[in-house]
Amino acid sequence: MEGQLKIERREVLKEKPDFSRLGFGQYFTDHMLIIDYKEGKGWHDARIVPYAPITLDPAAMVFHYGQTVFEGLKAFKTTDNRVLLFRPEKNFARLNRSNDRLTIPQIDEEQVLEALKALISLEKDWIPTEPGTSLYIRPFIIATEPCLGVRASHEYKLMVILSPVGAYYAEGLEPVHINVESKYVRAVRGGTGAAKTAGNYASSIKAQVEAKESGYSQVLWLDGIEQRYIEEVGSMNVFFKIDGQVLTPELNGSILDGVTRDSIITLLKEWGIPVVERKLSIEELHEAYQNGTFEEAFGTGTAAVISPIGELNWLNHKMIINDGKIGELSQKLYDTITGIQTGKLADPFHWVVEVN
Amino acid sequence: MEGQLKIERREVLKEKPDFSRLGFGQYFTDHMLIIDYKEGKGWHDARIVPYAPITLDPAAMVFHYGQTVFEGLKAFKTTDNRVLLFRPEKNFARLNRSNDRLTIPQIDEEQVLEALKALISLEKDWIPTEPGTSLYIRPFIIATEPCLGVRASHEYKLMVILSPVGAYYAEGLEPVHINVESKYVRAVRGGTGAAKTAGNYASSIKAQVEAKESGYSQVLWLDGIEQRYIEEVGSMNVFFKIDGQVLTPELNGSILDGVTRDSIITLLKEWGIPVVERKLSIEELHEAYQNGTFEEAFGTGTAAVISPIGELNWLNHKMIINDGKIGELSQKLYDTITGIQTGKLADPFHWVVEVN
Ligand SMILES: Cc1ncc(COP(=O)(O)O)c(C=O)c1O
Ligand SMILES: Cc1ncc(COP(=O)(O)O)c(C=O)c1O
């Protein structure tokens, strides 16, 4: 990325929303980061500008062929007013892996992270401090060249927008009820499941709508080939505690390599709790349930951090997990990760990065 | 859709490009059609306005979660200056099937077709008349609500843009060389393969880039489960003539129900040529090749109409089809369909729809 980061400040700042009723991704801060790409010129013209609508040709390739990737991470404010990011370098590394799958040019991870820090620093009054709240950070790249041929675009826009958010699930840390999806498929090996790209989410909405109609808040995806092996939930990886051991699907190329997932595996190892990444079938889970060894289940992701699963419905089998209450381990993981993220707990793994 | 179609004409018309060097999807006409959707209000405010960039919030859901669908059809000008559309009702019916899969609200197919006709009528000077050229019509719908929650948008924009196009393949009717894709997967049952939605194309670009690097212009997709059964090519369905019989993959839920495909099946039946829609493995194709019964292969789609396949590369097996030359049946189908489309041949199936 050539050149200096330019900053154009908004003259009149927006009125801030009620920080006690934020919801998720509904309010946006005063400024945003934009970096342009053009073939032959590379990434250029990094700038922080007032948050405003963008203007695109109706033939911009993102509208037609979905060449786009995104990330999601968070900034937190500590009680002594320091601003912390949680493992941001992992998000930018993953953004580049997504870029590779979508044939979008690689970004300079360090330079974009520096530009992001400048943006956060400018917007630090937008970081809410209530428990469970944070400033959600959404970097994304879209193909902007106006052309209807199906091929990689020669022009892109990287943008970062910021949104103060409450807890992701309306119910808070209340255990969620999840339906095991037996009809729709999210991803298959050789596809884009391991990339954070729009199409994966577009294809998931219908399953989610149908799950909601049956009283479930999310779906648990099974693999695309045999529709037996557990993959992940909506925008979370998934963990199960069975007979004292923690199990999570291995990174098989069709699920996302979650930053929260990695953090949890690290913590569990540190704590001496056995954790295994492997193929895991829904039948195996159901057997454990029938044997009485299915102890806890939870989803993990940036938005919710930990989302305990109180009920899993697989065809006509209802599995009520831990009496529908949050498990001890789920709670401890939540407390530890959010404690580290907000600077309340020590950070032995050097996960947090301070914004000056 | 409530209300009347409003028309705002451009004051100064654009200069037209050189119609002998159009390429595909690079030039756009003077006007476009826009129809808005808002929950509670439905589709509304249908209007023809000057072609111009559109303005969207950076949080518009299409950028993040890819909730979008599109169509592609063509308008032709006859030698006596009539303007013809080819089976447009099938495209709008398919748009609604795509809408259903992507949980986008249904459109009123007839009203949108009427609005499209008004747009085409306004732009009829943009329809090129050289053989192989036409006015390509791109209807598309994008989710516009600014919100980062993963769910169906409450706001959409339907747009139709028009682009005068030359022949889709630079090589014209020259047979193309195609690589059978053994690594990447485009779609799987339960996914979005049968819908015309951005994510399907985004995921295909990398395979296409790698095919190009090996000297092939497109890839032939295999099924997502066994990676053995033939699906389709880039933006074409695919047909094979083997031992006097024409074979094409059945509509299995992961390939597109092509309008050209349907037209070809209809013509073949009319001509008394046996045509079978069924599962077809790449091994079977290769066996036919070795037996000397593999007579012709061609892709079919709106953009190219018929694209003869001269060479298929499957792992290390090269299949040269009909000596790399266009087959007799491929040529006859091309001549018949383009003849009907351009009003040069009689239209026994009532496929063409005149724009007044
Ligand atoms: C499909 C999917 N899986 C898993 C995750 C969890 O990843 P992370 O922990 O990095 O937020 C997300 C959210 O980012 C996701 O979208
Ligand atoms: C994936 C795919 N398959 C097949 C086709 C051919 O369909 P049609 O004949 O309706 O253009 C297209 C193009 O529209 C396509 O995008």
What digits encode the pLDDT tens for the residues B45-72? 999 999 999 999 999 999 999 999 999 9
How far, in Å, CA of A156 to CA of A39, rounded?
Answer: 9
Per-residue pLDDT, B3: 65
Task: Calculate how far, in angstroms, residue B204's C-alpha sits from the geometric centre of ligand 2.
Answer: 14
Q: Comparing C-alpha atoms, which of A196, A193, A63, A212 is closest to residue B151?
A: A212
**Token pair 């923690």: residue:** A246
Q: Are B59 and A28 in contact (CB under 8 A)?
A: yes
Residue B168 has pLDDT above 80, yes or no: no
Burial of A175 (0-12, 13-18, 19+ CB in 10 A): buried
- Express each pLDDT in B300-346 by its tens digit: 999 999 999 999 999 989 999 999 999 999 999 999 999 999 999 99
Residue A36 has pLDDT above 60, yes or no: yes
How far, in Å, CA of B209 to CA of B30, rounded?
Answer: 33
Residues of chain A in contact with residue B203, where contact means CB-CB under 8 angstroms, are 191-192, 197, 199
Q: Count Cβ neighbours within 10 Å for each residue of A50-68 and write b for 16 or more, e otherwise.
A: ebeebebbbbbbbbbbbbb
Which pTM was predicted?
0.97
Burial of A246 (0-12, 13-18, 19+ CB in 10 A): buried
- Express each pLDDT in A92-129 by its tens digit: 999 999 999 999 999 999 999 999 999 999 999 999 99
Contacts for A116-121 with beta carbons within 8 Å, 24 or more apart? A116/A33, A116/A88, A116/A160, A117/A85, A117/A355, A117/A356, A118/A5, A118/A7, A118/A33, A118/A48, A119/A31, A119/A32, A119/A33, A119/A48, A119/A160, A119/A162, A120/A75, A120/A83, A120/A85, A120/A162, A120/A355, A121/A83, A121/A355, A121/A356
Q: Which residues does ligand 2 sit against, CB inside 6 Å?
A: B 72, 232, 235-237, 256, 258-261, 300-302
**Token pair 């990398």: residue:** B206
Residue A225 has pLDDT above 90, yes or no: yes
Per-residue pLDDT, A49: 98
The amino acid sitting at A12 is V
- Mean pLDDT, chain A, rounded, equals 96
In ligand 1, which atom is closest to the CA atom of A234?
A: 1
Dihedral over Cα of A331, A337, A341, A346: its sign: positive
Residue of chain B minimizing CA distance to A254? B185
Pick the CATH number of B176-341 from 3.10.560.10, 3.20.20.60, 3.40.350.10, 3.20.10.10: 3.20.10.10
Task: Calculate how far, in angstroms, residue B156's C-alpha sits from the geometric centre of ligand 1.
Answer: 26
Pick from A159, A186, A198: which is nearest to B66 by CB?
A: A198
B-proximal residues of A, 224-253, CB under 8 Å: 224-225, 227, 234-235
Ligand closest in space to the Cα of B97: 2
DSSP B281: B
- Mean pLDDT, chain B, rounded, equals 96
Pick from A183, A185, A198: which is nearest to B64 by CB?
A: A198
Residue A140 has pLDDT above 70, yes or no: yes
Pairing relationship of beta strands A245-248 and A218-222 according to DSSP bridges: unpaired
Tokens at A118, concatenated:
């400048």
How far, in Å, CA of B72 to CA of B138, rounded?
Answer: 5
Percent of chain A with pLDDT over 90: 95
Q: Comparing C-alpha atoms, which of A235, A270, A229, A259 is closest to residue A247?
A: A229
With an 8 Å Cβ cutoff, is B163 touching chain A?
Answer: yes
Ligand closest in space to the Cα of A72: 1
Burial of B323 (0-12, 13-18, 19+ CB in 10 A): exposed
Q: Give Cα separations from B187 to A203, A283, A309, B200, B209 (angstroms).
A: 11, 25, 30, 7, 18
Pairing relationship of beta strands B42-50 and B31-38 according to DSSP bridges: antiparallel
How far does B135 lie from chain A, in Å, by closest CA? 13
Cβ-defined contact of B63 to A140 (cutoff 8 Å): yes
How far, in Å, CA of A101 to CA of B65, rounded?
Answer: 17
Most distant CA pair in chain B, distance: 64
Provide Rg for chain A, Cα atoms.
21
How far, in Å, CA of B149 to CA of A136, rounded?
Answer: 12
CA angle, residues B79, B85, B88, in degrees to nearest 5: 170
Tokens at A259, concatenated:
């930053």
User: Looking at chain A, which runs of residues are DSSP E strands?
Assistant: 6-7, 31-38, 42-50, 54-56, 68-70, 73-77, 83-86, 134-143, 155-165, 176-180, 218-222, 230-233, 237-242, 245-248, 275-277, 294-301, 305-314, 317-320, 352-355
**Mean pLDDT (whole number) for A289-316:** 96
Q: Is the ipTM of this complex over 0.90?
A: yes
**Mean pLDDT (whole number) for B139-146:** 98
CA angle, residues B308, B328, B90, in degrees to nearest 5: 60
How far, in Å, CA of B355 to CA of B352, rounded?
Answer: 10
Categorize the per-residue pLDDT at A167 as very low, low, confident or very high, splitting at 50, 70 and 90.
confident
User: Looking at chain B, which runs of residues are DSSP E strands?
Assistant: 6-7, 31-38, 42-50, 54-56, 68-70, 73-77, 83-86, 134-143, 155-165, 176-180, 218-222, 230-233, 237-242, 245-248, 275-277, 294-301, 305-314, 317-320, 352-355
Hey, what CATH topology would domain B6-165 get?
Answer: D-amino Acid Aminotransferase; Chain A, domain 1 (3.30.470)
Per-residue pLDDT, B1: 54
Domain residues of chain B, as ranges? Answer: 6-165, 176-341
Q: Which residues does ligand 1 sit against, CB inside 6 Å?
A: A 72, 232, 235-237, 256, 258-261, 300-302
- Express each pLDDT in B237-291 by its tens digit: 999 999 999 999 999 999 999 999 999 999 999 999 999 999 999 999 999 999 9
How far does B264 lie from chain A, in Å, by closest CA? 24
Phi, psi of B302, deg, nearest 5: -55, -45
3-state SS class at A225 = coil
Per-residue pLDDT, B31: 98
Categorize the per-residue pLDDT at A236 as very low, low, confident or very high, splitting at 50, 70 and 90.
very high
Cβ-defined contact of A202 to B224 (cutoff 8 Å): no
How far does A80 lie from chain B, in Å, by closest CA? 29
Best residue among B69, B235, B250, B300 to mutate for probing ligand 2's pocket (most ligand atoms within 8 Å of CB) is: B235
Ligand closest in space to the Cα of B303: 2
- Express each pLDDT in B202-237 by its tens digit: 999 999 999 999 999 999 999 999 999 999 999 999
Pick from B58, B62, B148: which is nearest to A24 by CB?
A: B148
Categorize the per-residue pLDDT at B171 as very low, low, confident or very high, splitting at 50, 70 and 90.
low
Q: Are A356 and A117 in contact (CB under 8 A)?
A: yes
- Helices B88-101 and B109-122, packing angle to 10 deg: 130
CA angle, residues A213, A217, A218, in degrees to nearest 5: 105
- Helices B259-270 and B88-101, packing angle to 10 deg: 130
Pick from A53, A59, A201: which is nearest to B55 by CB?
A: A53
Ligand closest in space to the Cα of A194: 1
How far, in Å, CA of A162 to CA of A32, rounded?
Answer: 7
Provide Rg for chain B, Cα atoms.
21
Pick from B24, B64, B199: which is nearest to A140 by CB?
A: B64
Residues of chain A in contact with residue B201, where contact means CB-CB under 8 angstroms, are 64-66, 150
How far, in Å, CA of A297 to CA of A246, rounded?
Answer: 9
3-state SS class at A303 = coil
Residue B42 has pLDDT above 70, yes or no: yes
